[in-house]
Structure 1
Amino acid sequence: MHISPSQRPRRFRRSRRINPALPGAVVAVTGGARGIGRATAEAFRAGGARVAIGDIDAELADKAVAEMASTPGPAVVGLPLDVTDRSSFVTFLDTAEHELGPLDVLVNNAGIMPTGGFLDETDSTTGQMLDINLRGVLDGTRLAASRFVSRGGGMVINIASLAGVAGIPGLVTYCASKHAVVGLSEAAYRELRNTGVHVAAVLPGVVRTELSAGAELPPWLEGFTTVDPTDVAEAVVHAATTRKPKLTVPTRLGALLAVASLLPPGAQQLLERFTRLDTAFLHADPQARATYHNRLPGVR
């Protein structure tokens, strides 16, 4: 575990109306050692928040914290976290609060995206996707919201996907998990909005990370659908500051998918072929995907 600066802040009571992007807020990010998670942690820290990074790869989390701590800013701590283990999640939140103070924001970012044919998918792969992408988000949302309700306020931001409002060949179980995250976020937002607890979902398109490597999209479409992790991080901070319940990244892609959903099935099929979304993930470059797939726990 690594914390910077070395002097830990005193615990204190905070206002239920605190803006979580302002200095003094405490933010916890799951899957925070790389990609969207790390960019999000850096964005909140740049806004003055103290940040706890949780990741299954504790060594990588420590490395990320050491690199972040090389620049001036609020405290940042790296902690081990297995989102599929509820007790690990409880320990992560408890330790983050012990080190940094009462939590204001939880960003449920941890997720995996194996690609390939649905009929070829193993039970192990299916189970891992559902455990990490869905159960981890359910547990995190419930655990954080329980703390927030007793304090009169707090925020949970769930990283979903635009695959959570669309159906993409080669991503059947991933789409199922992200549809569920969108649904749970919308329902929890409505159920908890009168308690002072805010729940939001951020839906990125194709993000330039290892997770989406090898997708065979036309160059012209990549410019329209693809974003950087920092773009998603900005949207997460924006969701925290504006308290909007749902944001898409990029906005134009969310609008396109909404329009496409209104087309008749035949027209939708033609659009999928034109954009190559019918094969982009179903027949993704196996060599480009190998590094990512090989490090996923339980995925075969």
Structure 2
Amino acid sequence: MVKRLQGKSAIITGGASGMGAAEARAFAAEGAHVTIADIASGEALAEELGARFHPLDVTDADQWQSLVAAAEEAYGSVDILVNNAGIVTWGGVADLDEAAFRRVLEVNTVGTFLGMQAVTPAMERASGGSIINIGSTSAFVGGPRAVAYTASKWAVRGMTKAAALELAPKGIRVNAVHPGVIQTPMSAAAGDRTSGTPPLGRLGTPADVAAVVVHLASDESAFTTGADHVVDGGRIAGHP
């Protein structure tokens, strides 16, 4: 049986842990050539999966160019990008430090933009591709003391739609996945800020998100672009 991502070359940012690591495992299981990109060490996971690790600060355009060139040289193409890397800083309008606000936007929003920009020429050379931007349910609703994170994820959602329209004629699809509260180190560090059980009765797992990302990376979603895919157990559907 042919695997869903057989032979495709994928870059996953923030791929060393959490949702990114789950995506890397799912992609490798589906036959993809995976490049794990992260500011943290990902060599052990790459060795486990038979993948490649490339260090990356997503806010650095030159590092993006190096990453894409290395992946294209290793595998002959770049077919998939998962813009997964992200950070959260808690604080409200009245007290959040300006530098902290800017840092969240640099990583979550500018980093996503730079990734899309960097892979577009390679995907054109491959006659198409799939970009999946990891947003958040914070791209739909506001949250107290999360002004920077909320702003960054609304921006990611909007950029996804603009990029989808621009890149469609090149055969490049751009979609967004918006997780709710997922059991990762980042959500654990947030503590009671992310408390409460969604209508489906449990918190999400990285594997829940990875399954949707695999679908959007594969040819199963060939007619899907510019779309929002919420993975939150029904949390933002309405008041139960």
TM over 0.5: yes
Q: 1:29 touches 1:53 (CA, 8 Å); kept in 2?
A: yes
Structure 2 counterpart of 1:238? 215
* SS of alignment partner, residue 167 of structure 1: coil
2:230 matched to 1:252?
A: no
Structure 2 counterpart of 1:25? 8
Unmatched segments (≥5 aa) in structure 2: none
TM-score, normalising length: structure 1:
0.72
Q: Counterpart amino acid of 1:125?
A: A
Q: Counterpart amino acid of 2:192?
A: A
Q: 2:198 touches 2:234 (CA, 8 Å); kept in 1?
A: no
Q: Of 182, 196, 207, which residue of structure 1 is paired with 2:157? A: 182
In the alignment, the residues of structure 1 paired with residue 89 and residue 200 of structure 2 have an alpha-carbon distance, to the nearest angstrom, of: 23
Q: How far did 1:251 drift?
A: 5.8
Q: How far did 1:83 drift?
A: 0.5
TM-superposition CA deviations, 1:134-161 (whole Å, max 9, x none): 0000010111123222432111110011
Cα–Cα, structure 1 residues 249 and 96, in superposed 2: closer, same or farther, change >3 Å?
same
Cα–Cα, structure 1 residues 20 and 250, in superposed 2: closer, same or farther, change >3 Å?
farther
2:66 matched to 1:65?
A: no
2:94 matched to 1:112?
A: no
Unmatched segments (≥5 aa) in structure 1: 1-18, 70-74, 261-270, 276-300
In the alignment, the residues of structure 2 paired with residue 50 and residue 231 of structure 1 have an alpha-carbon distance, to the nearest angstrom, of: 21
Q: Counterpart amino acid of 1:164?
A: A
TM-superposition CA deviations, 1:154-207 (whole Å, max 9, x none): 111100111011111121110100000000001111222122111110010011
Q: Of 5, 22, 31, which residue of structure 2 is paired with 1:48? A: 31
Structure 2 counterpart of 1:203? 178
Equivalent residues, number: 232
Q: How far did 1:123 drift?
A: 2.0
Structure 2 counterpart of 1:35? 18
In the alignment, the residues of structure 2 paired with residue 232 and residue 107 of structure 1 have an alpha-carbon distance, to the nearest angstrom, of: 12
Cα–Cα, structure 1 residues 191 and 212, in superposed 2: closer, same or farther, change >3 Å?
same
TM-superposition CA deviations, 1:251-296 (whole Å, max 9, x none): 6335x1xxx4xxxxxxxxxx6xxx9xxxxxxxxxxxxxxxxxxxxx
Question: Which structure has the greater CA radius of gyration?
Answer: 1
Q: 1:115 touches 1:171 (CA, 8 Å); kept in 2?
A: yes
Structure 1 window deviating more from structure 2 (215-224 vs 120-129): it is 215-224
Q: Cα RMSD (Å) of the superposition?
A: 2.2
Q: Counterpart amino acid of 1:24?
A: G
Identity %: 36
* SS of alignment partner, residue 53 of structure 2: strand
Cα–Cα, structure 1 residues 98 and 187, in superposed 2: closer, same or farther, change >3 Å?
same
In the alignment, the residues of structure 1 paired with residue 171 and residue 101 of structure 2 have an alpha-carbon distance, to the nearest angstrom, of: 35
Q: 1:45 touches 1:51 (CA, 8 Å); kept in 2?
A: yes
TM-score, normalising length: structure 2:
0.89
Cα–Cα, structure 1 residues 215 and 20, in superposed 2: closer, same or farther, change >3 Å?
farther
Q: 1:20 touches 1:104 (CA, 8 Å); kept in 2?
A: no
